[in-house]
Amino acid sequence: MTESTGWAELRDRRMGEPGAEQAYQAARLAYELGRTVRELRVQRDWSQNDLAHAADMTQSAVARFEAGGTVPSLPVLERLAEALDADLTVRVTPRSHAA
């Protein structure tokens, strides 16, 4: 029988697999985008169905997005921002590197 593997060891092993870092970053981005849209929706006191109607989407698509299950295309993000009376800002900035 093998020894039980702790979470930290398992995470480190999985993060060492090819593509794991990219998948983690994509999941982080999906979560952050979804959280932001949910916060704006809640501030408006809208249901997911209200937002879906305003953005010409289905309620299930809004739910998946808010849960971090998907990263929508830029046109969909624009529709969500417009529906929420918000600005969509996409930036690419250089990373600072220590000399």
20-83 has CATH 1.20.1250.20 classification = no
CA distance 44 to 28: 25
pLDDT for 62: 97
pLDDT for 14: 80
Domain spans of the chain?
A: 20-83
CA distance 72 to 18: 24
pLDDT for 42: 98
Averages of pLDDT over each 10 residues, the chain, 99 residues: 71 82 88 96 98 97 94 92 96 84
Q: What is the DSSP letter of 85?
A: T
For residue 57, give both structure tokens: 């989407």
pLDDT for 1: 44
pLDDT for 19: 83
DSSP 33-76: HHHHHHHHHHHTT--HHHHHHHTT--HHHHHHHHTTS----HHH
